[in-house]
Chain A
Amino acid sequence: DTGVSQDPRHKITKRGQNVTFRCDPISEHNRLYWYRQTLGQGPEFLTYFQNEAQLEKSRLLSDRFSAERPKGSFSTLEIQRTEQGDSAMYLCASSSGQGKLYEQYFGPGTRLTVT
């Protein structure tokens, strides 16, 4: 069990560019969550996958954001045409369900800076 990993840890991009982040959950976890955390705030829910199905999306997830989990393992979060307001820490978490539904294990996050 190597924990949840995220790549890259830091990303600096210019406004208007596209960025993609990757999350590798704990291997036996079928549930995967993306959160966004801005400075001085707690994480805000963005989206949720159970296996490869995306079951819930927050209104925070504008049309410029897309998330996938193609084989029910790793997930990607893409932001198109980045804006300065997208600067934040993007956190991924996973859980196994099965009575431990709320034990979400978080990765270290990807810090995005849009200049």
Chain B
Amino acid sequence: AQSVTQLDSQVPVFEEAPVELRCNYSSSVSVYLFWYVQYPNQGLQLLLKYLSGSTLVKGINGFEAEFNKSQTSFHLRKPSVHISDTAEYFCAVGRSSDSWGKLQFGAGTQVVVTP
């Protein structure tokens, strides 16, 4: 069994400040890791993914995340946020042994960027 925990349900942040969204997972098998963003009344959009290789992955819109196997974490960061980054962010895990890509999502972190 696997689980995904997003440690913060809401993160308020000022414009141009850095932000970090925390994600921890548990799994008995090796996993792939993802961050998705959901803007109001829209579907989810893939921000970035870790499948293998370098543990620091860069995604769209200036986001990056670091896979830490020993701490079973995959925290998302952005050095300077914009108002347009206000959205809900979901961490997701997929088992590398799956042949068809089923994802398990965390509960989400709402990011609210204020001027």
A residues with a Cβ closer than 8 A to B are 4, 31, 33, 35, 40-45, 48, 50, 55-56, 91, 93, 95, 97, 101-109
Q: Which of B12-20, B67-75, B79-87, B99-107 contacts A (4 or more CB under 8 A)?
A: B99-107
Task: Report whether B107 and A45 are in contact in the complex, using a CB–CB cutoff of 8 Å.
Answer: no
B44 interface residue per 8 A CB criterion: yes
Which residue of A42, A48, A107 is within 8 Å of B100 (Cβ)?
A: A48
Task: Report whether B107 and A41 are in contact in the complex, using a CB–CB cutoff of 8 Å.
Answer: yes
- Given A48-B100, A48-B102, A102–B44 Cβ distance below 8 Å? no
27 A-B pairs, CB-CB below 8 angstroms?
A31-B100, A31-B101, A35-B105, A40-B107, A41-B107, A41-B108, A42-B107, A43-B44, A43-B105, A45-B103, A48-B100, A48-B101, A48-B102, A50-B100, A55-B100, A56-B102, A93-B43, A93-B44, A95-B101, A101-B100, A102-B32, A102-B94, A104-B46, A106-B43, A106-B44, A108-B41, A109-B43
Which residue of B4, B41, B51 is within 8 Å of A102 (Cβ)?
A: B51
CB distance from B21 to the nearest CB of A (A): 13
Task: Report whether A108 and B42 are in contact in the complex, using a CB–CB cutoff of 8 Å.
Answer: yes
Q: Which residues of A sit under 8 angstroms from B90, Cβ to Cβ?
A: 42-43
B55 interface residue per 8 A CB criterion: no
Q: Which residues of A sit under 8 angstroms from B44, Cβ to Cβ?
A: 43, 91, 93, 106
